[in-house]
Amino acid sequence: MHWTLARRAARLEPSAIREILKLTERPGVISLAGGLPAADAFPVEAVREATARVLRDTPREALQYAASEGHGPLRDWVAAELAAQGLRVDAGQVLITTGSQQGLDLVGKVLVDPGSGVAVESPTYLGALQAFNAYEPEFLAIEGDDQGPRPEALAAARGARFVYLLPNFQNPSGRCIPAARRAELVQQAAAQGLPIVEDNPYGELWFETPPPPPLAAAAGDGAIYLGSFSKVLAPGLRLGYVVAPRALFPKLLQAKQAADLHTPGFNQRIVHEVVKDGFLARHLPTLRDAYRHRRDAMQAALSRHLPPGCRWQRPAGGMFFWVELPAHLDATALLPQAVAAGVAYVPGAAFYPHAAQAHTLRLSFVTATPEKIEDGVAALGRVLAAA
Ligand SMILES: Cc1ncc(COP(=O)(O)O)c(C=O)c1O
Q: What is the pLDDT of residues 178-218, one digit of tens each?
A: 999 999 999 999 999 999 999 999 999 999 999 999 999 99
Peptide bond just before 195 cis, omega within 30 deg: no
16 pLDDT higher than 90 = no
255: left (phi over 0), alpha (psi -120 to 50) or beta: alpha
Q: For residue range 33-55, list pLDDT tens digits in order.
A: 988 999 999 999 999 999 999 99
Domain-terminating residue out of 257, 277, 297: 277
What is the span of the domain harbouring residue 228?
A: 47-277
Total domains, the chain: 2
Mutation choice for ligand 1 from 125, 200, 202, CB with most ligand atoms inside 8 A: 125
Domain-terminating residue out of 277, 307, 328: 277
Contact 259, 242 (CB under 8 A): no
- Residue 198 to residue 162: CA distance in whole angstroms: 10
19 pLDDT higher than 80 = no
Global model pTM greater than 0.85: yes
Q: Same domain, yes or no, for 85 and 124?
A: yes
CA proximity to 50, closest of 266, 240, 287, 227: 266
The dihedral over CA atoms of 266, 105, 169, 45, expressed in degrees to the nearest 10, equals 10
Domain-terminating residue out of 242, 277, 312: 277
What three-state secondary structure class fits 170?
coil
Q: Same domain, yes or no, for 53 and 30?
A: no
Mutation choice for ligand 1 from 42, 176, 198, 228, CB with most ligand atoms inside 8 A: 228
- Residue 32 to residue 277: CA distance in whole angstroms: 34
Residue 114 alpha carbon to ligand 1 centre in Å: 24
- Residue 28's CATH number: 3.90.1150.10
Residue 53 lies in a domain: yes
pLDDT of residue 309: 96
- Residue 172 to residue 79: CA distance in whole angstroms: 28
Distances (CA, A) of 329 to 212, 283, 344, 384: 36, 41, 16, 8
Residue 41 lies in a domain: no
Please give all residues whose beta carbon lies within 6 A of any atom in ligand 1, as ranges.
35, 99-101, 125, 127, 166, 171, 199, 201, 228, 230, 235, 240
